[in-house]
C-alpha cells in the first residue's frame, strides 16, 4: 500500500472557531399555531458550536439518522461551508430545544454580481470551487432531514413556512435534496410550504435498499438466491479458512488510521482504473472523512474492517453503527492485487451483516444507489425525494436561467476535464484517446439502458 501515512486530523469540535462574517442580531419569532414555540436563527459559528450538547440530546430523542448528528453537521460545515452563510433554524418550547433545521445560504454570482440565493440543507453536495458557486452532484450525506421532537412537527413546519414566505427577498429558491419519504421535511414541512403559496415541487430521488436484519445468519442465507448464497459462502470460506488471508478489525487509533489511509488508496485505485475520479479526488471529502473517522471511532459509531493477505490490505470497508442501524458507507479494493478474484469486498459485506445479526440491529442500510449487489442482499427499498420551492411573485427568472445554464456548462467542462486527465495519466498519450472514447460510449449506453428501464 502507499508508503506515506497520514495521521487522521484533529476532530475535536471544541477547537476554536472563526467568527462569522454575518453580524446580524439573532431575532426571536413566535408561532401562533399548535404548540407555542420560539424560533431563533443561528448565523454565527460560535452559536452553532454552543448548541453541541443540546443538539446531541435532541438527536437522542428523535427518529433521525447519523447524518443529523452534531458531529456530522459540524464537520460538514467545517470542510464544505466555504464562503456560504450559516442559517440554522432552532425551535424552543419553554427554553427547551425541540427542533433544528440546519441550513445554509448559497449565493450564485458572476463578477461579484449576485444572481440569486439558494437555501439548502447542511450536508448537501456543494461546489469544489467556492468561486463558481456550483452545487456538487453527489453530497457526502445520504439522508437529510430536520430534527424535531415528536409531537412538535406541525408547529415547527408552520413556523418555518411563515418564515420563508414572509419576505419576497428572503430567497430565490429553496432546495432540499436526498430527503427520506418518512422525514419531517416531506411529511410536514413540504405541505406547509405549499399552504404558504410557494411554488413547490417534489420529485423522486435515489433509491436506498436496506436489509431488515434476520434472526440469524443462516436465515439470511436461506432467503438468498442460490447463486448469491454460493458466492457469499465461497468468499467467507476464502477469508476465514485459508492461512494467507484474514479479516482484521482495527480497534486502536493507529490501526484505524492505517486502515483508513489504505481505504483511500484502494478506493481511488479502483475508481481510477474504471476511468472515474473517485470520491477522494475532492480534498474536502478526504479531510471531512478524516474528522468523521476519528470522532465516530471515539464515540463507538465506526465500523471498519479489512482483508489482509501476507501483511497487505487488499480490501477495506467502512460503515457506521447508530441507533441500532448499520450504515454501509465506503469501500475500496484493488482488482490487480493477489486474491482480488476471491471477492474480498464481498466477504467484508457479509461481515457487516453478521455483525448486525450478532448485535440484534434493526437493519443494514446500503444507502443511496441502485448497484446490483444491494438488491441481491436487501429485503426492502426506500426512495428519497428532492424538494424545491420558490416565491410565486418575486422569483428572478432571467438570472436564474443564466446561472443554471452557466452551472450546466461549467459542470460538464470541469467534470470531463478531470476525467480526461485521469485517462491520460492511466494510459499515456498513445492510447488514452481510444480508452476515453470507449469510456464515453459505455457511459452513454448505461444511461440509455437505465432510462429505458424506467
Numbers of helices and strands, H then E, in the chain: 13, 14
* pLDDT above 80: residue 17: no
Cβ contacts of 88 within 8 Å, gap of 6 or more: 41, 42, 43, 48, 51, 100, 101, 102, 103, 122
Confidence of residue 408 (pLDDT cuts 50, 70, 90): low
Q: Identify the DSSP state of 341.
A: G
* pLDDT above 50: residue 446: yes
Phi and psi at 441, nearest 5°, equal -60, -40
CATH 3.40.630.30 segments of the chain? 214-361
* pLDDT above 90: residue 441: no
Overall average pLDDT of the 5-29 stretch: 41
CATH homologous superfamily, domain 214-361:
Gcn5-related N-acetyltransferase (GNAT) (3.40.630.30)
Confidence of residue 231 (pLDDT cuts 50, 70, 90): confident
* pLDDT above 60: residue 249: yes
Using CA atoms, how far residue 44 sits from 22, 89, 154, 196, 325, in Å, is 7, 12, 27, 28, 33
Q: Which fold has domain 29-206+385-395?
A: Aminopeptidase (3.40.630)
* pLDDT above 70: residue 403: no
Which of the two residues, 306 and 334, has the higher pLDDT score? 306
* pLDDT above 70: residue 26: no
Phi and psi at 306, nearest 5°, equal -140, 155
Q: pTM of this prediction?
A: 0.83
Overall average pLDDT of the 284-309 stretch: 95
Which of the two residues, 434 and 447, has the higher pLDDT score? 434
* pLDDT above 50: residue 454: no
Instruction: Write down the pLDDT at residue 27.
Output: 40
Instruction: Write down the pLDDT at residue 336.
Output: 73
Confidence of residue 237 (pLDDT cuts 50, 70, 90): confident
Closest CA relative to residue 344, chosen from 229, 246, 270:
246
How high does pLDDT run on average in the chain? 82
* pLDDT above 50: residue 5: no
Overall average pLDDT of the 269-292 stretch: 87
pLDDT digits (tens, 9 = 90+) for 327-341: 999 999 877 766 666
Highest mean pLDDT among 94-108, 144-158, 228-242, 336-350: 144-158
Using CA atoms, how far residue 16 sits from 41, 45, 50, 74, 447, in Å, is 21, 10, 12, 13, 46
Closest CA relative to residue 251, chosen from 190, 298, 193, 187:
298
pLDDT digits (tens, 9 = 90+) for 109-122: 666 767 778 899 99
Cell match 444572481: residue?
115
Confidence of residue 312 (pLDDT cuts 50, 70, 90): confident
Confidence of residue 21 (pLDDT cuts 50, 70, 90): very low
Instruction: Write down the pLDDT at residue 447.
Output: 53
Overall average pLDDT of the 181-194 stretch: 96
Cα 351 from Cα 347, distance rounded (Å): 6
Chain centroid, CA 70 distance in Å: 14
Cβ contacts of 311 within 8 Å, gap of 6 or more: none
Note whether 297 and 253 are within 8 A (CB).
Answer: yes
Instruction: Write down the pLDDT at residue 424.
Output: 63
pLDDT digits (tens, 9 = 90+) for 55-87: 999 999 999 999 999 999 999 999 999 889 999
Amino acid at each position: 500500500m502507499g508508503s506515506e501515512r497520514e495521521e487522521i486530523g484533529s476532530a475535536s469540535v471544541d477547537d476554536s472557531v472563526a467568527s462569522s462574517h454575518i453580524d446580524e442580531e439573532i431575532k426571536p419569532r413566535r408561532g401562533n399555531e399548535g404548540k407555542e414555540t420560539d424560533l431563533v436563527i443561528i448565523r454565527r459559528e460560535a452559536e452553532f458550536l454552543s448548541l453541541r450538547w443540546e443538539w446531541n440530546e435532541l438527536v437522542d430523542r428523535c427518529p433521525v439518522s447519523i447524518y443529523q448528528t452534531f458531529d456530522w453537521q459540524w464537520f460538514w460545515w467545517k470542510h464544505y461551508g466555504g464562503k456560504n452563510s450559516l442559517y440554522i433554524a432552532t425551535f424552543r418550547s419553554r427554553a427547551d430545544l425541540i427542533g433544528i433545521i440546519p441550513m445554509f445560504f448559497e449565493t450564485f454570482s458572476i463578477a461579484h454580481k449576485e444572481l440569486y440565493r439558494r437555501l439548502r440543507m447542511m450536508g448537501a453536495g456543494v461546489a469544489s470551487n467556492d468561486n463558481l458557486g456550483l452545487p456538487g452532484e453527489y453530497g457526502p450525506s445520504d439522508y437529510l432531514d430536520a430534527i424535531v421532537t415528536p409531537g412538535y412537527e406541525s408547529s415547527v413546519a408552520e413556523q418555518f413556512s411563515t418564515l420563508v414566505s414572509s419576505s419576497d427577498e428572503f430567497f430565490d429558491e429553496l432546495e432540499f435534496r436526498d430527503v427520506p419519504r418518512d422525514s419531517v421535511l416531506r411529511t410536514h414541512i413540504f405541505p406547509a410550504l405549499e399552504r404558504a403559496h410557494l411554488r413547490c415541487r417534489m420529485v423522486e430521488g435515489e433509491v436506498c435498499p436496506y436489509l431488515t436484519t434476520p434472526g440469524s445468519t443462516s436465515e439470511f442465507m436461506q432467503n438468498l438466491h442460490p447463486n448469491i448464497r454460493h458466492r457469499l459462502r465461497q468468499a467467507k470460506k476464502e477469508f476465514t479458512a485459508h492461512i494467507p488471508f484474514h479479516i482484521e478489525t482495527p480497534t486502536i487509533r493507529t490501526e484505524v488510521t492505517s486502515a483508513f489511509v489504505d481505504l483511500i488508496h484502494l478506493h481511488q485505485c479502483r475508481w481510477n482504473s474504471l476511468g472515474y475520479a473517485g470520491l477522494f479526488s475532492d480534498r474536502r471529502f478526504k479531510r471531512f472523512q478524516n474528522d468523521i473517522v476519528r470522532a465516530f471511532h471515539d464515540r463507538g459509531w465506526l465500523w471498519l474492517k479489512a482483508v489482509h493477505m501476507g501483511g497487505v490490505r487488499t480490501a477495506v470497508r467502512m460503515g457506521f453503527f447508530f441507533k441500532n442501524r448499520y450504515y454501509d458507507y465506503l469501500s475500496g479494493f484493488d482488482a490487480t492485487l493477489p486474491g482480488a478474484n476471491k471477492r474480498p469486498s464481498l466477504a467484508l459485506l457479509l461481515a457487516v451483516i453478521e455483525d448486525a445479526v450478532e448485535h440484534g440491529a434493526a437493519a443494514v442500510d446500503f444507502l443511496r444507489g441502485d448497484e446490483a449487489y444491494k438488491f441481491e442482499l436487501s429485503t426492502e427499498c426506500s426512495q428519497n425525494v428532492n424538494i424545491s420551492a420558490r416565491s410565486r411573485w418575486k422569483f428572478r427568472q432571467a438570472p436564474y436561467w443564466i446561472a443554471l445554464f452557466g452551472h450546466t456548462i461549467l459542470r460538464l467542462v470541469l467534470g470531463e476535464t478531470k476525467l480526461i486527465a485521469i485517462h491520460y495519466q492511466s494510459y499515456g498519450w498513445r492510447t488514452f484517446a481510444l480508452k476515453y472514447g470507449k469510456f464515453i460510449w459505455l457511459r452513454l449506453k448505461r444511461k440509455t439502458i437505465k432510462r429505458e428501464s424506467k
